[in-house]
Amino acid sequence: MDTTTTLLLVAIIAMWISLNCGLVLVYLLWSGQSLWPPGGMGKSRRASVPAGAGTVAREASQAPVLVDEQSGAWGLLVVFDSPSAGLNLNIGNVLAAAGAVFESETRSFTIAGVSPRNPILVANAYPPASLPSFNDHSSQWPIKGLSIRILKDRRSSSPNKLQLVRLVALARDLSRLGANVVDAQNQPITEAGFQAVIDGKAKF
């Protein structure tokens, strides 16, 4: 077989293969089928990402950090916009309504809540680091901020959920007096963040 014959056979085979591929393509187009998944290759690649991945990432970014390793507690910080004697009185009313008890030794408040062994502690977050009893001389130290904490229990890696609900309720009530609520890393807590705490999704 000479070179000319060989080239002719190769050309005929190539034409035969091309013709068959063309017929297959025409058949697929005529039957309405596609070589790629619906939406193309790009959509197929995107489909490999879990549908809820964006929601999970968003929830994680909104989850407050409650653990404070230095104080050995879970808690929040309430920072008031305009400290004053009148604000002190309003704070006292909120704490009284929450059932807070003044501790004269530490000059702070405790709220037993649903777990008396791990009460909610309310203390002055700024110097002089003590709170007035709100019965006398309540205007002596305008309160700039309050720390609301639950002491960590060695037997549990997270605080009592019902106690967390009380902590969030107290923080919300105090914020209505004109304050911002931040977590242990001084990040503002949104309503979604409060809900994350109640749902047990905060970072303990």
Helix (H, G, I), strand (E, B) or coil at 124: strand
Domain residue spans in the chain?
3-48, 63-198
pLDDT recorded at residue 116: 75
pLDDT recorded at residue 53: 42
**Could you give the angle at the alpha carbon of 166 between the alpha carbons of 164 and 168, nearest 5°?**
70
Compute CA distances 154 → 72, 102, 159, 197, 201, whole Å: 10, 26, 10, 20, 20
Q: 81 versus 2: which is more confidently predicted?
A: 81
Give the integer Cα–Cα distance in Å for 36 and 42: 10
Q: What confidence tens digit (pLDDT) does each residue in 4-55 have?
A: 777 667 678 877 787 777 676 666 666 655 444 555 444 444 444 454 444 4
Summarize the confidence of residues 56-75 as an average pLDDT: 66
Give the integer Cα–Cα distance in Å for 107 and 201: 32
What is the model's pTM? Answer: 0.66
Q: What confidence tens digit (pLDDT) does each residue in 106-160 have?
A: 999 999 877 777 889 999 999 878 898 877 655 567 899 999 998 876 656 677 8
Give, rounded to a whole angstrom, the gap between the first and last alpha carbons of the chain: 83
Locate tokens 């058949």: which residue? 27
Which CATH architecture describes the domain 63-198? 2-Layer Sandwich (3.30)
Taking Cα atoms as reference points, which of 169, 173, 189 lies closest to residue 181?
A: 189
The enclosing H or E element of 67 equals strand 67-68
Q: 103 versus 71: which is more confidently predicted?
A: 103
Q: Are 154 and 175 in contact (CB under 8 A)?
A: no
